[in-house]
Structures are given as C-alpha cells and as structure tokens.
C-alpha cells in the first residue's frame, strides 16, 4: 500500500481531533512514544523479544561487581540496567544497544556483559554499542553498568538504555542511532524487521499521530501499525511505504478505538528479506482526554473536605501507633482467621475502623518503617544508598515534623532494625531501645511484657500533655518460641525440633532447599507463630486497659498495624524480605478513635498502605500542610474513613538491590523481578491464595502492568541521600543474631 493511500485526509484528521470526550476539552498528549520506548517490548525475527529493565542504583557488594570492592558496605554504587532476550537466538546475531549518557557520567567506566571488564570511558551525549551474541535456545541476559569514580555517585538519569536492535553480526553504522538514544527530539528510529509493542491504558477516542520517514536504506521500507484491545484480536489499523530521501511532512492521524481500556499498540517495520532496514517515526504521540493511569489516586479538595467534621471532633487528641513485627493479616481473627489469636485486637476493630486491604511497601523492617515515617517508597527514601543502610539524614520523619510543632514524642522499640542503628529514632524526644539480654527472655530478645514498666511510667508522666507514641513489639517475629501458656495455646508441642524455635539455622536449611519439613512440622510452625501472635495480642489488651485506667483511652487515637507479614511454608519458605505474596505484604491496619468521636465497627475495603500512616497522624495533629506534606506519597486516611476513595493501586518491593516488585490494583497483581525479567500475574478476586499464575493466558494485562510498573519507577521523584553505615552495639548485635538477621559468618 502506498503511503499516500493510507494517510487520512486533513478533513478526517480534523474530525478525529474533535472525537471523544467533551468537544470543548482539548486533546492532550498522553504518551510520547520515544519516551515510552525503553519500557516497551521489542520483537525481532525469529521471535526474539527484548525487554529493558529500569536503571537501578546497585552497590558493588550486591552483585557481579562485588569482586571490585574490598568492602561491599562502604564502596560506591554503580548504575545498572539489563536487556532480557527471550526466545531462540540464531547464529551470527548481535545486539545493538542505544545508550543515552549525561555529562555527569563522562568519567565513568562502562561494563557490558555479565562480568565484563571496563571497555572505556563514557562520553557525554549518545553512544551505540554492538555486542555479539552466542547462539542460544534459552535467550540471554545482557548487563550494562556504569561505574563512577570512587567517592562519587551518579543520578539514575545519568545513563540509560533507550532502545535496542537485533542485527546481523557484521552490521555497522557510521554513527549511533541518534533518535534511539534520545538525541533528536521526539523521534523513534526502528531497525527492522522488528516490532515495538506498547501496552497502554487508553481513554475513549485516543489517537496516534506521527510522520513516517526512512533512514539510509536501499529500497522501500514498509511501516504499519497494529492494535490489540482487551478481548479482541490484533488487527492492522495503518500501513505505508516510504523511501529514503522522500520529502514527506504530512502527519498521519490514526484512531485507536472509541472505547476506553487496555490496548497494545505495535509499530512494525519491514523491508526486503534478509536485509536490515531503518525507519523513523517522527513525533510519535498518543493524544486523548481523561486518561486513567495505574497510579495511586490523589486526594482532591473535595475528598479532603469529607473529613472536616471528623477533624473537629478529634482535635486535641493523642495518637499511639502500635506495630507488631511480622504480623500477617491473614492470622488475625478480625481478618477471618479461624483460631482465636487476636481477641483484644478484634475488640479494637469492633470499636473502630478496620482496613481490609492494607499493604506494606516493603516486606522488611527497615524499608517498611522508613516508608511509614517518611511516606515515601523505598526507592525514594533510600535513593543513593543500600536498602539495608540507615535512613538517609535528608529524609524528614514524622517524629521530626511533630516535635518541631511542640508535640511530645516517644518511641519504644524491641527490634534494632526499627531503631537507633538505622536512623529510625530521629525526631523522637524520648526513645527506648528494649532489646538485648534481659529478664527471663531468650538471649538477645526482650519479650513484649517487658515494655510494661517503662510504658506505664511514661504514660503516667505524659498524660497531661498531647503526645505521639510509637510502640514496636517484636512478636510474632522469629524466634517462634512463645512463653507459657502460649506455647500450648493451640495444641500440644509437635515434631518441630526445639532448636528450630530459636536457631534460624533450621530455617535457612529449609529456605535453601536442603531440608523439606513434614506436614506435621509445618503445622507445628504455624501453631508456634500463632502462639507468638496471641502473646502479643495479650500485651495490646494490657495497653488498652492501662490507657483506660490512666484516663487516656478516650483521648487517644490508637493505630495497630504491622511492618510486614510472614511466610510459613505456603510456598516452601519461611520468613520475609524476599517474597511479595499476600502472606508477606498484606498487613493488619486497625484505627480506634476515642469513643463517640469517630466511626466504630466500620470495615473499609479501599486499598491503602503504610505510606498513609504518616499523613494520617500529621492530619490528626493539624500538621498536614507546607513543604513536608508535599514530600508525602501517601494520603490521610481520615477522608477514606468518611467515604473518599483509597489509593486504587499499591506498590511493594523486596530488599535486594536488584529487587522484585509487586503492583496491585485491588483485583490484579503483578509480581515482577528486575533481576530475571520474569513476571507472575494473579487474579486476587478469584485466587486470593495466588495459586494460579495467569501471565500467559492474560498476556496483554501482564505486559501492560509490567510497562506501567516501569513507567512508575521512571517517574518517581528521587533525591540522592547521604549513605551512612549502621553501628551496632554488642547488645544490638546480639538481638540481630537472635532474630536471624546476622550470622556468625557475617561479622
């Protein structure tokens, strides 16, 4: 088909401009496809697909560059991205990588391959590399890393992969593909034969505009576009033939359907068989109105105003946040668990508000608590440093915000990962670290009941002032060794070895696949965990009674939650940190308002997460304003309690430097590894236990969520933080060992 025959007329283009939505509302640019190309899927014959990972800030000690650092904890980081090739790679193929480099990276070394040596110094501007590929039936993973000079760092924007091409081994160019590397404005150059697939949410009446052109290629180049909508087969919606040097300035306008929904827009380039061709899509943009992205909802003025009456009724009250470490929501009676593990917290839920779908952004304590107090995602609050490192000094914590406004603040913490060694005591006027050897507890562990004297003393002293308090209980976290009678509360001792209750060596063998527990041992593990949780629940009951005795219960908003959940062999492993299934990231969230001042017996089905805790507490103290509030990614839950929408989507990540992410819109959940490039997709409405991976049968949805995840990570506002190292006292080190965080070989 000729280009002229396939072009819409100017009259038709004008009609398309007016199509969809309110006629008085102008069309806006929804996507610039040149900017979206790094998130897209690139496909080359004979069926090799290539996906580029987001650029990550990886420390030498965490990956392939570890051998280049004498001390992985203090060495600088490098930027890293990967190209994942799926399918059979035939002989004689090379991978062309289009790389964009900012001036700040000019003195960095570049690595290409899995464990390559530095090739040369990077230069400002664009670079193109051709990397020979070995034949493979299982695809390949290509790693590209930029190492800055020692004692310096690079921002995530300093170097990035912008496009790829699978080319014959002898293919050469006099210059890199400028537009792939983002150097020639909004242009996308495509080396064919190939397809670039963009999986996107589209509004009603969306349209694609571009101007086609051919690069230095002999013969005509065929360019065409296909569209796949949810529930419909892929179909061609535009095609054209262009030649090098042809003077064409007519913009094509292609309608992408009249209904909103998920879609896959694919750009195809082809030519004569066996010959690479190059074509350019100039200014390829998708226009439309009213796009709904897979991002958290932003509370508008109308939403915030819903809680005005509640704010007035709660004026002058205190706030107490109680965190139970590693408490999975699925083990709470008020969340449907059969065993009576949480009688006291169930009562709080009946007296207050229970959020049915609350999540942690990180299944590890440092990341979760940092997010809870800064209302930022782990990729933000730990930007520029390891995710095991202390919270950077530049991050404003909730306690700092409230203390600056004259609020009395105090913390009581039984886990060092939530305390002084990791900067999470910042801003508290008083901070009580209750860990190390003491009382009748196991070595390195302080049981929750040991909080009682210091807690009651502080509450007695402070009850005349307005306060914000934070209590972080260790239970039900490992060791799974509840005190009597909780060790027998849910049955007689079973076959689980006694040392396994306190020694994480047994758990490490299980997680390494060196030992497979019997069904009886698995049941015993759950019994002991539930005993730990019931013990912690007793202490929450004591706290409620103490608040009542001191006249504080009806003057205090009590928030009960967890930093993360716990895996108990549901998928063959024990613990947390490296998994993002529901048992690890769905947490309890209960808010009890002073009697008569807020809702009681309310269950909220909206999606929320721990990033919402700081804005909620700040809102209760009238401090949700100014510059501090603008750094918050979470929202106040007070409007949500009064009927405003929740987040709509939540994001979580593991603690590894090359992490796994989970993106959950309340029904569909994507789990994606940026280390392997593999995805899983679950329908939580029909499969809450995540037993049936639908990534193949729901390929469009899975790819759309993967690309939306990458766009979200790309657009997150990050400010580099100061990297510091934790300094553990002997007592803190003893506790970290008892919790399974530190082994004898680590220090």
Secondary structure in 3-state letters for 193-232? CEEEEEEEEECCCCEEEEEEEECCCCCCEEEEEEEEECCC
Pairing of strands 140-147, 109-112: antiparallel
Pairing of strands 235-242, 252-255: unpaired
Tell me how far apart the alpha carbons of residues 710 and 37 are, in angstroms, rounded to a whole number: 11
Quick check: 662 and 671 in contact, CB under 8 A?
A: yes
Residue 65: pLDDT band (50, 70, 90) is very low
Q: What is the mean pLDDT of the chain?
A: 85
Whole-number pLDDT of residue 216? 61
Whole-number pLDDT of residue 58? 76
Q: What phi and psi, each to the nearest 5 degrees, are found at residue 145?
A: -135, 145
Whole-number pLDDT of residue 746? 35
Across 284-313, average pLDDT: 93
Nearest-CA neighbor of 317 among 463, 425, 427?
A: 463
User: What residues does CATH 2.60.120 cover in the chain?
Assistant: 1-45+193-292
Residue 732: pLDDT band (50, 70, 90) is low
Tell me how far apart the alpha carbons of residues 164 and 181 are, in angstroms, rounded to a whole number: 10
The answer on pLDDT for 501 being more than 90 is no
- For 277, the token pair is 């061709």
The answer on pLDDT for 401 being more than 70 is yes
Nearest-CA neighbor of 740 among 516, 507, 511?
A: 507
Across 237-250, average pLDDT: 81
Share of the chain above pLDDT 90, in %: 57
Across 726-730, average pLDDT: 60
Residue 19: pLDDT band (50, 70, 90) is very low
Residue 54 class from Cβ within 10 Å (0-12 exposed, 13-18 middle, 19+ buried)? buried
Across 436-462, average pLDDT: 79
User: What residues does CATH 3.40.720.10 cover in the chain?
Assistant: 301-337+352-666+717-738
H-run or E-run covering 138: none
Is the model more confident about 116 or about 290? Answer: 290
Report helix, strand or coil for 535.
helix
Report helix, strand or coil for 715.
helix
- Per-residue b/e over 634-666, b at no fewer than 16 CB within 10 Å? bbbbbbbbbebebbbbbbbbbbbbbbbbbbbbb
Is the model more confident about 645 or about 145? Answer: 645
Across 687-715, average pLDDT: 96
Tell me how far apart the alpha carbons of residues 261 and 496 are, in angstroms, rounded to a whole number: 51
Tell me how far apart the alpha carbons of residues 486 and 104 are, in angstroms, rounded to a whole number: 59
The answer on pLDDT for 3 being more than 50 is no
Whole-number pLDDT of residue 101? 78
Whole-number pLDDT of residue 628? 74
- For 220, the token pair is 């005509």
Across 45-65, average pLDDT: 75
Across 264-270, average pLDDT: 96
Is the model more confident about 278 or about 125? Answer: 278
Range scoring the smallest mean pLDDT among 174-178, 516-520, 691-695, 710-714? 174-178
Name every residue whose Cβ is closer than 8 Å to that of residue 3 and which is 6 or more positions away in sequence: 212, 240, 241, 242, 248
Whole-number pLDDT of residue 667? 97
Is the model more confident about 128 or about 569? Answer: 569
Question: Of 15-19, 128-132, 371-375, which has the strongest mean pLDDT?
Answer: 371-375
Range scoring the smallest mean pLDDT among 71-80, 127-136, 440-449, 457-466? 71-80
CA–chain centroid gap for 58, Å, is: 16
Residue 275: pLDDT band (50, 70, 90) is confident
Residue 224: pLDDT band (50, 70, 90) is very high
Residue 217: pLDDT band (50, 70, 90) is low
Check if CATH label 2.60.120 holds for domain 1-45+193-292.
yes
Range scoring the smallest mean pLDDT among 117-131, 156-170, 624-638, 644-658? 117-131
Our CA angle for 664, 678, 585, nearest 5°, is 35
Render pLDDT for 555-592 as a digit per residue (tens, 0 to 9): 999 999 999 999 999 999 999 988 999 999 999 999 99
Whole-number pLDDT of residue 60? 53
Tell me how far apart the alpha carbons of residues 415 and 739 are, in angstroms, rounded to a whole number: 9
Name every residue whose Cβ is closer than 8 Å to that of residue 261 and which is 6 or more positions away in sequence: 201, 202, 229, 230
Residue 745: pLDDT band (50, 70, 90) is very low
Residue 199's DSSP bridge partners are 264
Whole-number pLDDT of residue 121? 67
Quick check: 487 and 447 in contact, CB under 8 A?
A: no
Residue 730: pLDDT band (50, 70, 90) is low
The answer on pLDDT for 22 being more than 70 is no
Range scoring the smallest mean pLDDT among 126-130, 168-172, 173-177, 636-640? 173-177
Please tell me the CATH superfamily of domain 301-337+352-666+717-738, with its number: Alkaline Phosphatase, subunit A (3.40.720.10)
Range scoring the smallest mean pLDDT among 281-285, 493-497, 595-599? 493-497
The answer on pLDDT for 207 being more than 90 is yes
Report helix, strand or coil for 65.
helix
Residue 496: pLDDT band (50, 70, 90) is confident
- For 17, the token pair is 């401009």
Whole-number pLDDT of residue 561? 98
The answer on pLDDT for 206 being more than 70 is yes
Task: Give residue for tokens 């309608």.
Answer: 255
Residue 150: pLDDT band (50, 70, 90) is confident
State the DSSP code for 553. Answer: G
Our CA angle for 645, 650, 656, nearest 5°, is 165
Strand order in the sheet with 125-132: 125-132, 93-101, 159-168
Range scoring the smallest mean pLDDT among 430-439, 450-459, 541-550? 430-439
The answer on pLDDT for 366 being more than 70 is yes
């Amino acid at each position: 088909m000729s280009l002229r025959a396939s072009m819409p007329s100017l009259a038709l283009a004008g009609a398309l401009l007016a199509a969809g939505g309110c006629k008085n509302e102008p069309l806006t640019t929804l996507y610039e496809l040149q900017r979206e190309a790094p998130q897209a899927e690139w496909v080359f014959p004979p069926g090799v697909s290539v996906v580029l990972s987001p650029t990550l800030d990886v420390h030498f000690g965490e990956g392939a560059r570890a051998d280049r650092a004498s001390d992985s904890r203090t060495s600088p980081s490098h930027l890293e991205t990967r190209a994942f090739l799926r399918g059979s790679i035939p002989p004689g193929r090379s991978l062309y990588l289009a790389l964009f480099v900012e001036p700040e990276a000019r003195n960095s070394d570049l690595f290409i391959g899995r464990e390559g040596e530095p090739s040369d110094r990077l230069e400002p501007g664009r670079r193109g590399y051709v990397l020979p590929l070995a034949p493979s039936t299982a695809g390949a993973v290509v790693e590209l890393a930029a190492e800055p000079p020692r004692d310096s760092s690079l921002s995530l924007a300093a170097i990035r992969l912008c496009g790829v091409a699978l080319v014959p081994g002898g293919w050469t160019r006099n210059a890199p593909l400028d537009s792939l590397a983002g150097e020639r404005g909004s242009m996308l150059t495509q080396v064919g034969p190939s397809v670039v697939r963009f999986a996107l949410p589209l509004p009603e009446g969306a349209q694609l505009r571009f101007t086609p052109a051919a690069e230095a290629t002999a013969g005509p180049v065929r360019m065409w576009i296909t569209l796949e909508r949810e529930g419909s087969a892929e179909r061609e919606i535009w095609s054209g033939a262009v030649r090098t040097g042809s003077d064409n300035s007519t913009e094509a306008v292609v309608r992408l359907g009249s209904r909103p929904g998920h879609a896959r827009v694919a750009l195809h380039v082809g030519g004569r068989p066996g010959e690479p061709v190059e074509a350019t899509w100039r200014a390829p943009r998708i226009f439309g109105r009213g796009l709904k992205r897979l991002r958290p909802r932003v509370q508008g003025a109308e939403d915030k105003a819903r809680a005005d009456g509640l704010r007035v009724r709660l004026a002058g009250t205190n706030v107490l946040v109680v965190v139970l470490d590693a408490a999975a929501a699925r083990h709470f009676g008020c969340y449907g668990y059969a065993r009576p593990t949480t009688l006291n917290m169930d009562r709080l839920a009946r007296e207050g508000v229970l959020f049915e779908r609350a999540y942690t952004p990180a299944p590890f304590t440092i990341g979760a608590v940092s997010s809870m107090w800064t209302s930022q995602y782990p990729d933000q609050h730990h930007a520029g440093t390891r995710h095991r490192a202390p919270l950077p000094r530049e991050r404003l914590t909730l306690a700092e915000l409230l203390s600056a406004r004259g609020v009395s603040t105090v913390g009581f913490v039984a886990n060092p990962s939530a305390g002084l060694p990791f900067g999470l005591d910042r801003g508290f006027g008083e901070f009580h670290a209750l860990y190390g050897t003491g009382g009748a507890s196991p070595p390195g562990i302080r049981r929750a009941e040991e909080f009682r004297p210091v807690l009651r003393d502080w509450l007695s002293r402070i009850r005349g002032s307005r306060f914000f308090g934070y209590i972080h209980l260790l239970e039900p976290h490992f060791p799974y060794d509840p005190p009597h009678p909780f060790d027998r509360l849910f049955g007689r001792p079973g076959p689980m070895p006694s040392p396994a209750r306190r020694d994480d060596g047994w758990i490490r063998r299980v997680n390494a696949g060196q030992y497979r527990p019997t069904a009886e041992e698995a049941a015993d593990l759950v019994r002991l965990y539930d005993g730990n949780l019931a013990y912690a629940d007793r202490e929450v009951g004591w706290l409620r009674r103490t608040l009542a005795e001191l006249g504080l219960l009806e003057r205090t908003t009590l928030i009960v939650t967890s930093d993360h959940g716990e895996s108990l062999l549901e998928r063959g492993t024990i613990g947390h940190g490296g998994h993002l299934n529901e048992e690890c990231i769905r947490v309890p969230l209960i808010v009890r308002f002073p009697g008569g001042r807020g809702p009681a017996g309310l269950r909220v089905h909206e999606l929320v997460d721990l990033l919402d805790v700081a804005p909620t507490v700040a809102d209760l103290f009238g401090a949700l304003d100014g510059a501090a509030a603008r750094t918050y990614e979470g929202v106040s839950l007070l409007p949500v309690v009064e009927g405003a929408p929740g987040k709509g989507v939540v994001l979580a990540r593991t603690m590894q430097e090359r992490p796994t992410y989970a993106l959950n819109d309340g029904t569909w959940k994507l789990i994606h590894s940026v280390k392997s490039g593999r995805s899983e997709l679950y329908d939580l409405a029909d499969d809450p236990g995540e037993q049936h991976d639908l990534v193949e049968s729901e390929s469009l949805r899975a790819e759309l969520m993967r690309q939306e995840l990458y766009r979200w990570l790309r657009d997150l506002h990050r400010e580099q933080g100061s990297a510091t190292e934790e300094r553990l006292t002997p007592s803190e080190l003893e506790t970290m060992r008892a919790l399974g965080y530190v082994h004898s070989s680590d220090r």
